[in-house]
Amino acid sequence: MRVILGYLAVLMTFQAGPDPETVAQARRIAASAELAAQEYRIGVVDGQVVAPAEVDEARLFLGEAKRSAATLPTSVRDAAIVELDRALALVAATAVPDSVAAAVARLSGTLRDGLGIVLVELPSRPPSLALGAEIYARECASCHGDAGRGDGPAGRGLDPPPADLGAHLALADVTPLAFYQRITIGVAGTAMPAYETRLAPADRWAVALYATMLRQAAPGGAVPDSLQLFATTAGMNDEQLREALGAAASREQVAAVRAWQDTGSAAVTAVFTTVRERVAETLKLARAGSGEPALATAFDAYLEFEAVE
């Protein structure tokens, strides 16, 4: 703990980095663009639009990201808008999904490197499914329904209707990270609101993981050590999990990975892994002159350490 507190004291002397609102704005822009790339990949196959609604949603996400990019610092604003314009042009031309994803990756790199920030902070430990169920019942079931079928009483008459979160095939590519991004920034063109200021990050991750479980089979089978770290699985879709488990893996085994909760000594190990990662990131940010983000990351490391002290 003294080491981490020492970092905090030293980092106070570094040049200030982006203000918290700029960091939050950059993360929203990156999340919107990443969701656009995901929706576009669903909507366009072999050069043909197979799901027009998904392509429209991709266009809306990119348009919202461009609108927000106009408020960024001049050091990254123009480059970010250039990449978003490229992505929008590619969508308009029904380009291959990989080209849209590449433009979005360049945008993320511009924001990350230009501002010296971390765009996505993935929890190393699995979020609490019990907490996720509680938040879902309070915040989501009225529209999405108790079982996530899109049949909640408040969702009747909405256009477009609430998503069916139990659609296994349709949502197989949607990761917990993608749900977290949707919950955080909302979904443009729908009644889905942004929960960035209404729910703490831990709560958003919990309900994102719970929403991911609504399409899964009943969990069954062992979970390999390599797939017990949520930072590893949060960005993996169901097919990627199945491949990681082995070609013969069943839906029940995939569900077991999603449902795995850290209840033993592995939880302590994960904490120290996260602390080390955040201290390393702190040093990287500090050396780049990003004082405020470095200070925030160091404090996050301290808070993680407090969980097991």
The reported pLDDT for the residue numbered 19 is: 84
Contacts of 38 by beta carbon, 8 Å cutoff, 6+ apart:
173, 174, 178
This prediction's pTM = 0.73
The reported pLDDT for the residue numbered 277 is: 85
Vertex 234 angle, CA 87 and 214, to 5°: 100
The reported pLDDT for the residue numbered 22 is: 93
Q: What is the DSSP letter of 239?
A: H
The reported pLDDT for the residue numbered 118 is: 87
144 in Cβ contact with 155 (< 8 Å): yes
The reported pLDDT for the residue numbered 25 is: 93
Residue stretches of the chain with pLDDT short of 50: 10-15
- What is the Cα–Cα distance from 96 to 114, expressed in whole angstroms? 28
Q: For 123-161, how does the pLDDT look when each residue is reduced to its tens digit (9 = 90+)?
A: 878 999 999 999 999 999 999 999 999 999 999 999 999
Provide the b/e sequence for 32-49 (b: ≥16 CB within 10 Å): bbbbbbbbbbbbbeeeee
The reported pLDDT for the residue numbered 12 is: 44
Quick one: how far is CA 216 from the chain centroid? 19
Q: For 253-301, how does the pLDDT look when each residue is reduced to its tens digit (9 = 90+)?
A: 999 999 999 876 555 676 777 788 888 888 888 888 887 777 777 877 7
Bridge partners (DSSP) listed for residue 31: none
